[in-house]
């Protein structure tokens, strides 16, 4: 039986490219030749890791497709979601993505891989692969819970049964009772684009693991009838400091300096605050956040990245004297932080997160309880998993889905939630549940673990398919 060759084509967004690179590395570690497809400006996300692992004997390579940003009216350097100037330009970005179908077909024809793992956001990839009789797998950058809940909303429309936007409704037919408000779900347009059923493809890959959301995984497979493989948590395949530090973008802080700072702190005494790669807060909310962090009295690492142009880097919202007052207690990182490295440090006691799926999983892998602060997309669902199912997080109380300029959470709520997760009886209980889940995550990816076996059975199937064609 010849060796397998698999293409990986992630949406150009940090939250998709980072786990896809981990996934490609994982496949390569199991004897597969892995080719990543991306655009020239996104190449730096992958090159270092690919170079490193090729030298170690893995078969990994990259193929580039020109991105037609200018043709759809976007700025020339707009090659990834975090560079899209405003939420209104997102449709143009996706239009440019769809224009990649033809060049993708050209390299599929040229290289004839055995499988195409393409992002959920590239529905046209199924047709492209079918032309060459290549199985297409969808990579879901999200949780089973999120997909089950979104599917239920689409089918049953329970949000029509309440009379106000802030009234709770139950999401029907799920293995656990979950309630949301209309304010917490995405505008109709978004729901359609993301969650409409796609052309039937070979199956779906999840960055999740059986023990984490077993009931939702079973619901998804058995009730919704979709073939899936759970192969996560993918971030756990980064074992050394170099791998943990080098994810997505280059850190704007020296990693060793960051570790030294954390080394000087007691175990579980630091709260880490970071909202992923695209979240955008109103200046008034950033001000309130600073006040809340300070009022919590905890030591902290706070990652600030706001792309609002009117801010112009001046940070007028920053409370006067904040950094002087918190000197020694707080480390502010402007730009990109080595997140996994920080979360895995024993000084970190809690993670204030927007509940992006990667961040949520990284918290689980580190055994760190969360203060959940969802803003949009699948984040309100992931919050439910963290706070109500796993019970390793506390809500800060963000109640509204907002595409940009998110605001409305008060400093008292922020300070209160941080204190609750960091100290006291409830904190201890959450920490011990988080630790138990961390151990399960590790076991899942080890030889014989659930994710290890699931990937094995996928590879067996692909090999059998390869042998027949």
Cα distances from 334 to residues 160, 271, 284, 307, 373, in angstroms, run 42, 16, 18, 11, 20
Would you say 378 or 416 has its CB closer to ligand UDP? 378
**Consecutive H or E run containing 351:** strand 348-353
Would you say 258 or 409 has its CB closer to ligand UDP? 258
**Taking CA 303 as the corner, what is the angle to CA 78 and CA 79, rounded to the nearest 5 degrees?**
10
Would you say 6 or 279 has its CB closer to ligand UDP? 279
Would you say 171 or 376 has its CB closer to ligand UDP? 376
Minimum distance from CB of 457 to ligand UDP (Å)? 26
119 noted as active-site residue: yes
Would you say 248 or 349 has its CB closer to ligand UDP? 248
Q: How far apart are CA 140 and CA 156, in angstroms?
A: 23
**Taking CA 61 as the corner, what is the angle to CA 459 and CA 133, rounded to the nearest 5 degrees?**
50
Region for 307 from its dihedrals, namely left if φ exceeds 0, alpha if ψ lies in -120 to 50, beta otherwise? alpha
Minimum distance from CB of 94 to ligand UDP (Å)? 16
Q: What sign results for the dihedral spanned by CA atoms 396, 400, 406, 408?
A: negative
Minimum distance from CB of 120 to ligand UDP (Å)? 13
240 noted as active-site residue: no
Which residue, 28, 114, 33, is CA-closest to 463? 114
Minimum distance from CB of 256 to ligand UDP (Å)? 16
**Taking CA 76 as the corner, what is the angle to CA 72 and CA 80, rounded to the nearest 5 degrees?**
85
Mapped to the 3 state alphabet, what secondary structure does 30-89 carry?
A: CCCEEEEEECHHHHHHHHHHHHHHHHCCCCEEEEECCCCCHHHCCCCCCCCHHHCCCHHH
Would you say 278 or 462 has its CB closer to ligand UDP? 278
**E strand segments, 110-236:** 115-119, 136-140, 169-170, 179-180, 203-206, 228-230
Minimum distance from CB of 182 to ligand UDP (Å)? 22
Cβ contact 417:350 at 8 Å: no
Q: Which residues of this protein are in contact with ligand UDP, per CB under 6 A?
A: 13-15, 18, 247-248, 274, 276-278, 303, 336-337, 339-340, 356-359, 362
Would you say 114 or 378 has its CB closer to ligand UDP? 378
Q: How far apart are CA 435 and CA 451, in angstroms?
A: 19
**Tokens 């009117």, residue?**
310
Q: How far apart are CA 79 and CA 66, in angstroms?
A: 10
Minimum distance from CB of 362 to ligand UDP (Å)? 5
> 22, 82, 119, 299: which is the annotated catalytic residue?
119
Minimum distance from CB of 375 to ligand UDP (Å)? 8
Minimum distance from CB of 11 to ligand UDP (Å)? 10
Would you say 60 or 342 has its CB closer to ligand UDP? 342
Q: How far is CA 375 from the centre of its chain?
A: 13
Residues acting as catalytic residues: 16, 119
């Amino acid at each position: 039986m010849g060796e397998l060759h698999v293409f990986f084509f992630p949406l150009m967004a940090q939250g998709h490219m980072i786990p896809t690179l981990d996934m490609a590395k994982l496949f390569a570690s199991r004897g597969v030749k892995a080719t990543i497809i991306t655009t020239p400006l996104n190449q730096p996300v992958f090159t270092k890791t690919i170079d490193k692992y090729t030298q170690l004997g893995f078969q990994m390579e990259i193929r580039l497709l020109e991105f037609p940003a200018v043709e759809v009216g976007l700025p020339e350097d707009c090659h990834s979601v975090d560079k899209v100037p405003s939420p209104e330009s997102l449709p143009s970005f996706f239009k440019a993505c769809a224009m990649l179908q033809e060049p993708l077909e050209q390299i599929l024809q040229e290289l004839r891989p055995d499988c195409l793992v393409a992002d959920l956001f590239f529905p046209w990839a199924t047709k492209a692969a079918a032309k060459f009789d290549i199985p297409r797998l969808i990579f879901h950058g999200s949780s089973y819970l999120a997909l089950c809940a979104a599917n239920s909303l689409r089918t049953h429309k329970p949000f029509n049964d309440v009379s106000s936007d802030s009234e709770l409704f139950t999401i029907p037919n799920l293995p656990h009772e979950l309630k949301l408000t209309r304010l917490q779900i995405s505008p109709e347009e978004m729901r359609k684009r993301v969650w409409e059923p796609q052309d039937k493809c070979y199956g779906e890959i999840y960055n999740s693991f059986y023990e984490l959301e077993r009931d939702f995984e079973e619901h998804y497979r058995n009730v919704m009838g979709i073939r899936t493989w759970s192969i996560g948590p993918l971030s756990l395949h980064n074992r050394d400091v170099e791998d943990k530090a080098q994810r997505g973008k280059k850190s704007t802080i020296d990693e060793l300096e960051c570790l030294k700072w954390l080394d000087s702190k007691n175990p579980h005494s630091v709260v880490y605050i970071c909202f992923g790669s695209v979240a955008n807060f109103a200046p008034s909310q950033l001000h309130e956040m600073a006040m809340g962090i300070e009022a919590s009295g905890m030591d902290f690492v706070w990652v600030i990245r706001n792309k609002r142009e009117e801010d112009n880097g001046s940070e007028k919202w920053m409370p006067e004297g904040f950094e002087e007052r918190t000197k020694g207690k707080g480390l502010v990182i402007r730009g990109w932080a080595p997140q996994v490295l920080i979360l895995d440090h024993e000084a970190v006691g809690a993670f204030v997160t927007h509940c992006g799926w990667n961040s949520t999983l990284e918290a689980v892998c580190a055994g760190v309880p969360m203060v959940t602060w969802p803003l949009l997309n699948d984040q309100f669902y992931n919050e439910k998993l963290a706070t109500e199912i796993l019970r390793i997080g506390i809500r800060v109380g963000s109640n509204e889905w907002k595409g940009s300029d998110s605001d409305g959470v008060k400093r008292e709520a922020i300070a209160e939630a941080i204190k609750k997760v960091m100290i006291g009886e409830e904190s201890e209980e959450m920490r011990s549940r988080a630790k138990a889940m961390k151990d399960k995550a590790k076991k899942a990816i080890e030889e014989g673990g659930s994710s290890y076996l699931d990937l094995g059975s996928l590879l067996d199937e692909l090999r059998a398919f390869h042998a027949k064609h």
